[in-house]
Amino acid sequence: MSDVFAVRRDRLRDRCSAAGNAAALVSRPANVRYLAGAAPPGAVLLLGPGEDTLLCPRTHAGENVEARLDDQLGLTVLSTVGDPVVAAAGVLIPSAATSLAVEEHHLTVAAHRAIGSVAPRLRLADLGCAVEQLRIVKDEGEIACLRIAAEIADQALGELLESILVGRTERHLALELERRLVDHGADGPAFPTTVATGPNSGRGGHHPSDRRVEEGDFLSVGLGADYRGYRCLIGRTFVIGTSPADWQIELYELVFSAQRAGREALVPSAGYRDVDRATRQPLEAAGHGERLAPRTGHGVGLEIDEDPQLAPAAMGKLDACVPVTVGPGVHLPGRGGVRIDDTLVVRPEADGGPELLTITTKELLAL
């Protein structure tokens, strides 16, 4: 397993040397985990020119973190009494390195200054989002984790649908979903589960409230599992009671058709903005343009929200083996709305087209 991480580090090292930097300091937790296989809280990864070193802030004296992680990770692990960023600069001083690339989009101004004081001769450069770029295309091991994460989310959601919903609060339903995720083997929820009922339904990122499910409500649910660090997302909207109102059926069919159009646009070399446009266009045509979120999908992986962004101004094209969400939503103030989110992996048409990871039905269920 540790070979995978060594290969990733070598790819980053190549990019760094090409940019004229002898060493790199990776501080963003998901990037550290991607390259080292683990990211204890506050840990940073120092890449070459000597041995790669994971520096972890010491939490408990007497616990031999170094030995425990060394064995697993196949790289040098140091536990540091002070700030690991400063310690990393200290490690570099005796080396021949004259320049260090740092993640300016993550490192704080104070930490940047601290490196400058410890190692004043080191030229500090910007690593930019080099690691985030490497992370976009997943290997089959990563996709296998996402597939399991999606199965877990489907199971948790399926069980909820079999239970009685009327009268229960958004908060309790959200908690029950999170418990079920863990029951089915998740390391935890991929993000705070959202449950939105009645007038709250269809709002992305709604924080579950004490509102209770009522007959006639739209109920929208967004959840995901974290499996070995990999995070998926599923969103569904249901109607409570036996007979949905006409406006509910109409709105549901509209959002469903937009979401399907987005899924069908997922082919290698499609532009990010083209996928967004495919999803967005049917909703705009129906007069909901003003109500739409700034984007209709995004990448998933070690973070629940990573590159690429599926948005009108996004630059770039999809590759095979890029997992993304497609999740349009329309919320009518005071009435509620519909969101439908899937996680899919882009695959060539020859391989059958996009691989749907979240397989819970998208028919309008009346519960």
Show the site string, 149-188: x = touches a copy of itself by CB under 8 A, - = not. Answer: ----------------------xx--xx-xx--xx-----
Give yes or no for residue 277 binding a copy of itself (CB under 8 A). no
Q: What angle do CA 54, 131, 300 make, to 5 degrees?
A: 110
Nearer Cβ to a copy of itself (83/142): 83
How many CB atoms lie under 10 A from the CB of residue 37?
20
Give yes or no for residue 94 binding a copy of itself (CB under 8 A). no
Give yes or no for residue 273 binding a copy of itself (CB under 8 A). no
Strands 329-332 and 99-102: unpaired
Footprint (CB under 8 A) of a copy of itself, residues 30-59: 58-59
Footprint (CB under 8 A) of a copy of itself, residues 95-114: 102, 104-110, 112-113
CA distances from 34 to 29, 75, 110, 119 (A): 9, 14, 25, 27
Give the interface segment with a copy of itself, choosing from 71-79, 141-149, 233-241, 286-294 (CB under 8 A).
Answer: 286-294
Footprint (CB under 8 A) of a copy of itself, residues 250-269: none
Q: What angle do CA 242, 244, 246 make, to 5 degrees?
A: 150
Give yes or no for residue 83 binding a copy of itself (CB under 8 A). no
Give yes or no for residue 334 binding a copy of itself (CB under 8 A). no
Minimum distance from residue 185 beta carbon to a copy of itself (Å): 10
Nearer Cβ to a copy of itself (202/301): 202
Minimum distance from residue 104 beta carbon to a copy of itself (Å): 4
Residue 194 contacts residue 171 (beta carbons within 8 Å): no
Q: Quick one: tokens of 133?
A: 């770029």
What span, in angstroms and rounded, lies between the C-alpha atoms of 364 and 367? 10
From 19, 267, 293, 356, residue interacting with a copy of itself (rule: CB under 8 A): 293
Residues in contact with a copy of itself by CB under 8 A are 58-63, 81, 102, 104-110, 112-113, 126, 171-172, 175-176, 178-179, 182-183, 203-205, 290-294, 331, 333
